[in-house]
Amino acid sequence: MANFKLSSRSKKNLKGIDKRLIKLVNRVLKKSEIDFGIPQYGGFRTAQEQNNLFHKRPKVTQLDGFKRISYHQSGNAFDIFVYDEHGACWDCLDKYIELSKMFKAEFQEMKDEGIFKEETFTWGGDWTRFKDYPHYQINL
């Protein structure tokens, strides 16, 4: 087992996120054979930060942060990026899929432990209209 840990930058990028989600990220990373981190704006976002991402090209979000609010703005979502031998890899779909299975299983384990209660867990790769493979959120 690789036993990866979050860098200080990734930890900083998770500031403002639900502490249970931070625990989930750390538990998955510790068990994973795939290294990943948290990108800038991969954690909590203000409405303006969300809006800036909405206007970015290529499009990275469907939510403008004002009329359509992101789960990032409530601290209930995070994004990851996978590392490969060349650095951050946004196109490593097989690795994002493998990690999604780990995140879902670990979320269920934490739910069984009582850490999560009524919340459900969503991976952006399961969405039908807009696939967001790096995205995870809890729905309250």
pLDDT tens across the length of the chain (140 residues): 678 999 999 999 999 999 999 999 999 999 999 999 999 999 999 999 999 999 999 888 999 999 999 999 999 999 999 999 898 998 999 999 999 999 999 999 999 999 999 999 999 999 998 899 999 999 98
Looking at residue 134, its pLDDT comes to 96
Helix axes 19-31, 93-112, angle to 10 degrees: 120
Looking at residue 59, its pLDDT comes to 83
**pLDDT tens across 32-63, in order?**
999 999 999 999 999 999 999 999 998 889 99
**Cα–Cα distance for residue pair 22/4, rounded to 1 Å:** 14
Rounded to two decimals, the pTM is 0.95
**Cα–Cα distance for residue pair 43/10, rounded to 1 Å:** 9
Q: Which CATH number fits domain 8-139: 3.40.630.30, 3.30.1380.10, 3.40.190.10, 3.30.450.40?
A: 3.30.1380.10
